[in-house]
Chains A and B, each alone.
Chain A
Amino acid sequence: MEELKLRGYVTPEDFTGSDNEKLQKAMNTAVELDIRKVLIEKEYQVTGTVYIPEEIEVIFKSGSTVSGNGVVLANQVANEPEKCSWSFENGRIYLKGEKGAKISGNVRLFHAGESVLDTLSIDGKVTFEFCREIRMEDCVVSSEEDAAVTLMRGCNNFIMQRNELQAKKIGILIDTSLAEGDYVIGKDTENHELIIRDNICRAEKAVAIYAREAEKVFNVQLDHTACDNEAGEIGRAEEKIGAENYFNLTVVDFIGEKKALQVNNETKHCYFGE
């Protein structure tokens, strides 16, 4: 153990067991010994989710892979949510990838705060639910699902820049009606303070923003999105809600779109442009 502390990081190869077990033990030990850094250097095939504890840095070194079906990486809180707890959250998770590292499977952050996804290459989707103060930069996400990156309900204070996102239908989906996990009393379910810029989206629609009545999307700066098909849409054509639910949005400066942004709902104090 002292050796690990002196070395300054933990790797799954420090442990025995299945790939899942080795990865999980590495995460847990990094926290127990207050080393807080995990290096993933080899190839791992997981059969279940690896849960990332809080206040940890996980670096996916060049040549490493973590592959599995469904959600391969999630924050610890996603494992066993404690209901009815206002302070329920996982924080300060840094996930960093080097060139040539790959995560094959989905990544889910749920009730996570002050966390960073940096230069990751993910063959899968990335979802956020009840997350705050998230920075996602220089990542490549390629998903066979409907959306590459989804901000479900309760996401605020995001900065997402310079990512390359590919999916069947939508590059960046912001939707307050989406929920996977349990609700925690007192948690804000709206999506707000989102800065999303300089991304490349390859999908039917680059972006889609959906609110629902009394669960607004507001204070959004979304600009300089390069796309190869439709720019996207604000609101659902088949479901009209009050204009105040799409509020203070700047969605501008698409590059390469074959169809301009569709605004399907009344909005308030928004600025849309090419």
Chain B
Amino acid sequence: MAILNVNDTAFSGTDSEVIQKTIDQAKTGDTVVVPRLNKRTGENVWSIAKAIRVKSGITLLLDNAVLVQGRGYYDNLITNEPGASDFRILGEGNVTLSGGEHNYLLESTANTLGMPAITKNAMFYFENASDFEVSSVRCIMPRWTTLYLKDCKNAVLSKIRFDMIPHVQRLRGIIIDKGCRDITLDTILGRTGEDTVFLKAMGDTDVKNIENIKMRNICTDSGRLPMIRIFADSGNRIQNIVMDTLMDSSDYYEKQRPAAAIAFQMSGEAQVSAAAPNPVHAKVIAKTPAKLGDIAGIRATGIFSRALSAVFFALPVSESEFNGFYTFGDIVYVLNGSDKGELRKVSFDRVYYGKGSAPNNLNQFIGRAAKGSVAVKMDQVRGDYEIKNVLSEEEN
């Protein structure tokens, strides 16, 4: 099991080429090290114009390294060889992965006028990969979603820190697309421009499920959008999702609350609140809306939120449990939903509505109770659900 430092090879070429050739040369069990110093340029940065493709059996160790996506290029920073398995991408120390200067590839410009698919702008793009790990990296200024997984199995994404300023739209943390199963997200920190995690099972071609996703210690500021977004349509299913401790770390001194801790909703769909109206986006009409049973087996505990709604239902959800809502600051609703929400055998326990108990010096928020704000606003949501142990002394 060799350790191959990309600086110690005789390979020539661009930074991407040198790293890639080192990986290509590595054998199963080897570790490829990208150190801080780029010996070829003498700088402490690696400019990546073409995606680094990891292959089966290797560990890519980023040792206090700074990798920046190349200016004007349309490619991921890191992706996998088709079918790759048993690989690790690990950070050590101060690793920074940066999207660099944006390349103007947006969701609105993708696949037009010669522009590639938007997925080329994901910092990490994994498709059809299994048994892999990404850990201990800090991702800044991404060009789109930072980590995108599709048709992946048995993966761990841990100790990942996002530092995003929403200079463009759709700067999400992690998208888990359909076909993914047995994925663990553990200790996810920092600030995302939009959803920190999006479970997305959409579209009527290639119907597949997202199953067995565990999220633990998600402690982020998701901008104005939900921390966790879950959406399915067209027969795709999302099943067995465990969320253990979601903590809103948004700075109540400085910015508006997020839309939700957990939203069963597509982005772009209007979430209209009489108490706190939001700008209305164009409605997204699902091709075939999800039906009861498609999104099931959701278990969430320990939701610490100051969002507009701690949980928002605009989709059918069944056989699920939500325990322990601890809300604070300028929270408007704990449980909320639209007429698209429908529940079957869903229970809520320990719903603590702490609106108004804002931190020190936040006088501008205390008492600024939006009219009509209450802990539970589920009058539009159909179906059967049970709510137990609501502590709410601050209704308006």
Contacts and interface: CB of A to CB of B under 8 A. Distances in A.
B187 A159 contact: yes
Interface in A108-152: 114, 133, 135
B354 interface: yes
Most buried by A among B7, B219, B302: B219
Contacts of A192: 359
Nearest to A194: B247
B249 A248 contact: no
Most buried by A among B159, B253, B357: B357
B326 A219 contact: yes
B93 A247 contact: no
Contacts of B249: 156-157, 193
Contact of B94 (A5, A92, A244): A92
B302 A247 contact: no
A96 B44 CA distance: 22
Given A6-B39, A188-B359, A57 B93 contact: yes
Contacts of A221: 245, 247, 302, 304
Interface string A191-235: 011010100000000000000001110110100000000000000
A98 interface: no
Nearest to A5: B37
Main SS class of interface, B: strand
B352 interface: yes
Interface in B162-216: 187, 189-190
Contacts of A244: 357
A135 B187 contact: yes
A268 B36 CA distance: 48
Contact of A215 (B36, B93, B357, B360): B360
B272 interface: no
A195 B217 contact: yes
A54 to B, nearest CB: 10
Interface string B294-323: 000000001010000000000000000000
B302 A250 contact: yes
Contact of B324 (A34, A96, A190, A271): A271
Most buried by A among B64, B93, B326: B93
B240 to A, nearest CB: 22
A193 B354 contact: no
B357 A247 contact: yes
A215 B36 CA distance: 42
B159 A135 contact: yes
Contacts of A219: 247, 304, 326, 328
B261 to A, nearest CB: 12
Contacts of B44: 34
Contacts of B63: 8, 37
Interface string A79-100: 0000000000000101010000
A161 B161 CA distance: 17
Interface in B323-345: 324, 326-328
Contact of B219 (A55, A56, A92, A193): A193
Main SS class of interface, A: strand
A269 interface: yes
B354 A248 contact: yes
B328 A218 contact: yes
B92 interface: yes
B224 interface: no
Nearest to B189: A133
A57 B217 contact: no
Contact of B161 (A57, A114, A250): A114
Interface string A5-20: 1101000000000000
B350 interface: yes
Contacts of B3: none
A56 B94 contact: yes
B337 to A, nearest CB: 22
A28 to B, nearest CB: 16
B286 interface: no
B223 interface: no
A57 B94 contact: yes
Nearest to B302: A221
B304 A37 contact: no
22 contacts: A8-B35, A8-B36, A8-B63, A36-B36, A55-B94, A56-B94, A135-B189, A157-B249, A159-B187, A188-B253, A188-B359, A188-B360, A190-B359, A190-B360, A192-B359, A195-B219, A195-B247, A214-B360, A218-B357, A248-B352, A250-B324, A250-B326
Given A219-B247, A221-B304, A269-B326, 12 more contacts: A35-B37, A36-B36, A37-B64, A56-B93, A57-B64, A92-B94, A161-B217, A192-B359, A195-B245, A218-B357, A219-B328, A247-B328
Q: 6 nearest interchain CB pairs?
A: A57-B93, A269-B352, A248-B326, A8-B35, A219-B304, A94-B93
Interface of A: 5-6, 8, 34-37, 55-57, 92, 94, 96, 114, 133, 135, 156-157, 159, 161, 188-190, 192-193, 195, 197, 214-216, 218-219, 221, 244, 247-248, 250, 268-269, 271
